[in-house]
Structure 1
Amino acid sequence: MPTSPKEQRFLAALQKEILEFFELNDYRSYSINQIHKAFAIRDRKTKELYADIVHKLALENRLIKQSDGNYRYDNESFQTEGRVDHVNARFAFVIPDDGSKDIWVATSDLMNAKDGDRVRVQARKPSEKKKNDRPEGEVIEILDRKSSEIVGVIQVTPHYSFLIPDSKKIYEDIYIPKTETLEANHLDKVIVEVTRWGTPGKKAEGRVIKVLGKSGENETEMHSILAEFGLPYEFPEQVELAAEAIPTEISAEEIKRRKDLRKILSFTIDPKDAKDFDDAISYQKLKNGNIEIGVHIADVSHYVKPGSVLDQEAYRRATSVYLVDRVVPMLPEKLSNGLCSLRPNEDKLTFSTLFEFDPNGIIVKEWFGKTIIHSDRRFAYEEAQVLIEHEGESTDPYEPVIKDLNRIAKKLREHRFSHGSVNFETVEVKFELDEHGTPLAVFPRERKDAHKLIEEFMLMANKKVAEYVHELKKTEPRNTMVYRVHEAPDPEKLRVFSAFAKKFGYQVSTEPKQVSQSFNALMENVEGKAEEHVLQSLAVRTMSKARYSTDAIGHFGLAFPFYSHFTSPIRRYPDVMTHRLLQLYLEKGNSPERAPLEIQCKHCSDREKLAADAERASVKYKQVEYMALHEPQIFDGIITGVTEFGIFVEIGETSCEGLVRMVDLNDDYYDLDKENYRIVGKSNGRVFSFGDAVKVKVRDTNLAKRTIDLELVGMRSNGQRFENNRIRKRQSRSSHVIPRGKSRKNNIGRKRR
């Protein structure tokens, strides 16, 4: 302790200096040794003095001592838990579990957490000096690893091997000892189990647990995509055995318990390559002049009992996964393509919604319950569309039925849009593959009236089931239900999108009550124009992501106050949950507790995202594979993104997106104008803006990284630039010779120009 006022003043000044240092560097933490180095302290006594002051400041809660022994400034700090989104090699975001703002974390402060890991983060509220309001922080504990298994390409050397992960969000290789390769060959795709996670300066270590095959082969790549996202592609033996043990015959007792609709005209409309038909439509004219339309859904819950091995596996998967060349089903084939598939000319157990429509297309009566149906015919969308478009005398007895269903569906659609439903038509791509899985053609998937017909009746069934359950009990708490919910757009995202649309001459309102109408007007105005796809894609990104919840907060995109998923239980576990709850309430059962079902909803939402990511990865892989076969060709494209490292271009006829790298724009140095979504040449003033039409050709494709590098047609290549530089250098070497009749001054001036 100081014994004189002078010593006290000295220590107070030193304490202030240390605090100011931490405050100035509030974005990171320091060990005692790092503090000594920062203040250039070398003698032992002064080191001890600084250590004592730092320790005292921590005891006074003016500094925070972390679990790793480091100290940091407490700038309104707080701790929270969340998942790591490692967006690039330099930094990541931790997405808090409580839905609060994402937290920026430098890679050096991740404690070697990987993308998808659950962590505890020490975060700080942003200071007033910061331009944005995003908190920053550092990971102080890894709570749960996303997975200890990582898929990638193995590089084999004589003494050791290492894995290059497929995931674009894992930035470090994994060391594999020579004895742990499972005899994988150089450049094989493998799955590695991490046996020791890395530390700063030291790679993670692992062992090969499965060899998927030779990199670049279709089967290998599809399996590696599933493995990359932690999705299974085989059923455990006990699950297959449980499915095989289910009787195929429908007992007379079971039929008696159900409404028998086998004599009513019923049929399915699905993609021509579909094998699982989980919904059918029935149609009959009633004596009072009205029409009864039934939406019949495979009764999966009859076969998959709560807690059974089939149920546990279905919940674990939560969804079927649709890759380009295959479906990885949620249920074993005996159920998904057999017992539960509403195949034509077979009796099937179903859960049905029946709606009675008056001649004006208004629902006057509805019914929900267990049924048995007999589908009379299976239509592909293309076949149903032919009947819808056919004019003149009909020879097909189904034509008037499908045309009438289409008429009613259009009324439902018109009513939906008039009440605020948002009209987004996102473009999906479809591939034509040969027997080896090689893409022969890629084209946008068309959505015609036949698709929209089925869509409207499925939307109606989902909506009515949710409304029915919600209204069964008029007081709070309401009956527990699994809802499909969709929040309104984030105001900041909406503001940014509105500002961007304005640059194209379109007005998008940011007023909550006018957003839907404004978006629909925009979609109508851009139809058929060059900027249509760009604005549609950006508009979709502006929207929140739909998810599952027991909270009835409504579905913004559909403008439904109550909405569920009821119509696809073969491929979605939440639909199975909905069936069980609906049947419970039809039998006058008591509402279950919300909390366990909310956990299941969260799990299903997470699995849905993983499946969607895998599906996109398979599409991207096939797009890159297809474009690799068309490198010399010139394509029309549209700029769909601008960044500091280049511009993204989507090719119109294939919907493939590639990158024109900034280094290849070699006619000038380009600056990113972030606010105006463009890059601008410093000298020539040339502008490349979001939505511009350009001509491109393929420069390079990388199947392993699923990337396409493009070059702008008309831009000088690097080879040309090299040759021009070589010529200029040769000229400069002889520039000391002054032409006759010219002064040295004039010669220098000419060179400068």
Structure 2
Amino acid sequence: MQGLNGKRWKVLKNKQGLTGVLSGNPRGFAFVVLDNDPGSDIYIAPEDLGGAMHRDRVRVRIKQNDYRFSRSGYVEEILVRANQRITGILQKYQGSWQVVPDDRRLTESVMLPGSEVDEKLEGFKAVAQVTRWHDGRGRPLIGKIAEILGDPRDPRTEMYAVMSRCGIDRMFSRALEEEADRLSDVPFPHDLEKGRRDLRDLRIVTIDGEDARDLDDAISIRRRPGGGYRLGVHIADVSVYVEPGSPLDLEAYRRGTSVYFPDLVSPMLPAALSNGSCSLNAGQDRLAFSVMMDISPEGDVTDREIFESRIHVAKRAYYSHVYRILEHEDPVLMTDYGEDLVSDFRIMAELASLLYQKRISRGSVDFDFPECGIVIDEQGRVTDVYRKERTVAEKLIEEFMLLCNETVAEHFYRLGLPFLYRIHEDPDEEKMKELAKVCRLLGFHFRPVRPLKSAHLRDLMGEIQGTPHEKLLKMLALRSLPRARYANTQTGHFGLASRAYCHFTSPIRRYPDLVVHRLLKQALGIGSAQKTVGGWDLGEIAAHCSLREQVATDAEREVDQLRKVEFMQGKEEQEFDAVISGLTDFGIYVELDNTVEGLIKSESLGPDIRFHPESYTMTGRKGRIALKIGDSLKVKLVKADTASKRIDFEWVQEKKPLNKGPARAHTARGKKKRFPKGTV
């Protein structure tokens, strides 16, 4: 079907309505992101919302004659209310109290009739429990105060507000904690050991960060006679403790994922299980699900076994230790770990390098965005923010987990049975054309030929690496791609250039992995095969877990930004070295070496500075190019505001002009690194 401006529209079936998640806008309208077609958003006008709010799951119907948008509709039914509790500022309005939502996409305040509130609490953060929904026809949103969070100027209050707004709980109910304690007291029920393969004599090690508590995965490795490797990936068998439909299972499903903040974790399962009986702690027998892979010298998986096991982790290793052993041959650490484990680490690094090269050669795309580390003291204050460097130790675990996930998904793909896949759809053609246009303007070669393959983006990532425009183009490329998500149908994984992929390796902290374990047991007819997902709708599980993943990622980013703002407070008037990370008509985004990012507002640059979107530059008098992405600047901190989570800088202009002449592309050098969240 041909639409306006020559664009092609999709014809959407309208017989039974379409389901998806509503994404609100502060101006009142919204879009519905469809479950089975995330690229085909449905525009919903304010008068067609029918009382639906941001993040609600809804059923919509398409309007037949609406020429404002190619796909316009109305909310027919609200399936799931996502905003049972609304976080905001407590205010008095016409003699009554109300909570004004923090999230501007929630456009209705919650009225609190009959609530008795201390006048001193006006302006504090509060959580309102909704007791009556508005209907879109004038009936107000009614609620009651569920919790007073505190003064919004306190960063911990803001963190609690983010968690409440995203539906992320800090604690479990007493009943769930007691049930987890009961289960953890019986780590090896005899009926669950039957048929398990005993691998306790196998040398197995975990490799994680020093602060990790929920250890999902462990590794074993050896060389095969005649060449190649025998790689074992051993994953905590959470399914023996969390039965489908049990209170613990329903709570894990509701949460969907563990959420990690700098000084707080909201786990998917209570600590007695996540840090205790399920965690693959060193020196203790544990129940596991093992995937043993024979790998050729060329990096191909030639044979695989998937089975229930009982393991005994020989030692817990840390990323920092493995790095120092492999890169610096630290004599103290080599003695501590022993000759056998040191040899294992070297074989692991060798195999990981082989797997990485093979993955990249088939077209897998690596996006690399710097991660930040945030140090919190015992009083909850931020003492440092720094740029995290990923080492060979993190990379080898990543390669092994990618291979294991792919091996399990391939196994199910060949069986042709119902499964929960991790998919990444092909990019939108129009977005790729826009990316190509920007690349040409900046001097890079990228032609989105049809059909576009992941190898084309891989080559672009290699070309831009190490250049001043690397961050901008990687961000634009990432935004041009759909988010990776869960699905009960297999469409492949574009970013990994993989035919079939799933999440199997983190069942302590991701609900989809737990579902995959249950499906595997059912398909293989092993162990507790009768304890499956039962009659649950895999499509519904996929949609819910995709949403919870996105909510968790957004919350983690928001809290990280909050903590960065807190770190910068008290540093007003101090000067810093920065690099331009973005240019817009309202200012310049700059990034410090520690990943702290802020804005230099346009009005502070003077009337002569103009932004040119066609070349991503800013010019001063007589059209001379003054600023471009990647330029180094000296900046001064003006303000760090926790309420808005914004950091404002001023440019400390030097006497000599910066970087005369046009931007030029450079040949990429350096290492490729890991995927950002949402791409695998």
| 1:437 maps onto 2:380 in alignment | yes
Q: What is the DSSP-based 3-state SS (H/G/I as helix, E as strand, rest coil) of the residue aligned with 1:114? A: coil
Does structure 1 residue 185 correspond to structure 2 residue 121? yes
> Who is 2:595 aligned against?
655
Give the drift of 1:497: 1.1
TM-score normalised per structure 2:
0.84
- Provide the secondary structure at the position in 1 that maps to 2:556: helix
Q: Does 1:161 align with 2:97?
A: yes
Aligned to 1:407: 350
Q: Residue 256 of structure 1: CA displacement? A: 4.4
Q: Secondary structure in 2 aligned to 1:191? A: strand
Q: CA deviation at 1:439?
A: 1.6
Aligned ranges 1:685-724 → 2 under 5 Å: 693-714=632-653
List aligned pairs for 1:195-594, cutoff 5 A. 195=131, 204-246=141-183, 247-251=185-189, 254-285=192-223, 291-359=229-297, 361-391=299-329, 395=335, 396-397=338-339, 398-472=341-415, 478-512=416-450, 515-587=453-525
Paired residue type of 2:443: G
Question: Structure 1 218/522 Cα, relative in aligned 2: closer, same or farther at 3 Å?
Answer: same
Q: Is contact 1:121–1:141 with CA below 8 Å preserved after alignment? A: no
Quote the Cα distance in structure 1 between the aligned partners of 2:485 and 2:22: 20
**CA distance in structure 2 between the aligned counterparts of 1:82 and 1:576, rounded to whole angstroms:** 24
What corresponds to 2:82 in structure 1? 146
Partner residue in 2 for 1:116: 55
1:126, CA displacement in angstroms? 6.4
Q: Which amino acid aligns with 1:153?
A: I
The match for 1:25 is none
User: Do the aligned partners of residues 306 and 177 (structure 1) sit closer, same or farther apart at CA in structure 2, a change above 3 Å counting?
Assistant: closer
Instruction: Please list the CA deviations of residues 269-294 of structure 1 after superposition, one character each: whole Å capped at 9, or x if unmatched.
Output: 00111011110001245566654221
| Residue type of the alignment partner of 1:89 | R
For residue 305 of structure 1, report the CA deviation from its aligned partner. 1.1
Contact 1:279 1:342 in 2 (8 A): yes
Q: Give the Cα–Cα distance (whole angstroms) in 1 for the partners of residues 626 and 246 of structure 2.
A: 61
- 1:456: Cα distance to partner? 0.8
How many residue pairs are counted as aligned between the two chains? 629
Kindly state the Cα deviation for residue 564 of structure 1 after the two structures are TM-superposed. Answer: 1.1
1:182 to partner: Cα distance: 7.6
CA contact (8 A) 2:259 2:265 kept: yes
CA contact (8 A) 1:638 1:693 kept: yes
For 1:568-647, what aligned pairs fall within 5 Å after superposition? 568-587=506-525, 596-643=537-584, 646-647=586-587
Distance 1:96 1:654, change over 3 A: same
Q: 2 CA distance for matches of 1:170 and 1:663?
A: 30
Q: Which has the higher helix share?
A: 1
1:149-208: per-residue Cα shift (whole Å, max 9, x none)? 211222358944332322242355444446343887233221012445567889644321
One-letter code of the match for 1:343?
A: N
Q: 1:125 to 1:615 in 2, by over 3 A?
A: farther
Please tell me whether Structure 1 or Structure 2 has the larger radius of gyration of its CA atoms: 1
Q: Give the gaps of 5 or more residues in structure 2.
A: 1-13, 655-680
Match of 1:667 in 2: 607
**Secondary structure of 1:190's partner?**
strand
Say which SS state the counterpart of residue 486 (structure 2) adopts: strand
Task: Give how far 1:430 is off.
Answer: 1.2
- SS of 1:147's equivalent? coil
Question: For 2:487 and 2:126, how far apart are their aligned partners in 1?
Answer: 37
Q: Please show how residues 126-145 of structure 1 align to structure 2 within 5 Å.
A: 127=67, 134-136=70-72, 145=81
Aligned pair in 2 of structure 1 residues 175, 659: CA closer, same or farther (>3 Å)?
farther
Cα distance in 1 between the residues matched to 2:120 and 2:195: 57
The equivalent of 1:739 in structure 2 is none
Kindly, what percent of the aligned residue pairs are identical? 36
Alpha-carbon distance in 1 for matches of 2:602, 2:73: 31
SS in 1 for 2:201: coil
Cα distance change on mapping 1:708 and 1:164 into 2, 3 Å: farther
SS of residue matched to 1:355: strand
Task: Report the Cα distance in structure 1 between the residues aligned to 2:623 and 2:296, rounded to whole angstroms.
Answer: 67
1:72 corresponds in structure 2 to none
Q: Distance in 1 between matches of 2:633 and 2:264?
A: 34
Query: Matched residues in 2 for 1:490 and 1:125: separation?
Result: 25
Q: Match of 1:470, SS? A: helix
Aligned partners of 1:126 and 1:648: how far apart in 2? 38
Task: Please say if residues 264 and 283 of structure 1, whose CA atoms lie closer than 8 Å, have aligned partners that are also in contact.
Answer: no
Contact 2:365 2:461 in 1 (8 A): no
Judging changes above 3 Å, is the alpha-carbon distance between structure 1 residues 711 and 374 closer, same or farther for their aligned structure 2 residues? same
Letter of the aligned partner of 2:179 in structure 1?
A
Please state whether the residue corresponding to 1:245 is helix, strand or coil. Answer: helix
How many angstroms does 1:135 deviate by? 4.1
SS at match of 2:234: strand
> Aligned partners of 1:125 and 1:495: how far apart in 2?
29
Contact kept, 8 Å, 2:155 with 2:642, in 1: the verdict is no
Q: Distance in 2 between matches of 1:642 and 1:418?
A: 34
Specify whether residues 314 and 512 from structure 1 end up closer, same or farther in structure 2 by C-alpha distance, changes over 3 A only. Answer: farther
| Structure 1 residue ranges without an equivalent (≥5) | 1-76, 473-477, 716-753
> CA 1:374/1:98 → structure 2, altered by over 3 Å: closer, same or farther?
closer
SS at match of 2:380: coil
| In structure 2, C-alpha distance between the alignment counterparts of 1:352 and 1:542, rounded to whole Å | 37
CA distance in 2, matches of 1:641, 1:104: 29
Q: Secondary structure at the match of 2:121?
A: coil
Structure 1 residues 144 and 296: CA distance shift in structure 2, 3 A: closer
Change (3 A) 1:326 1:460: same
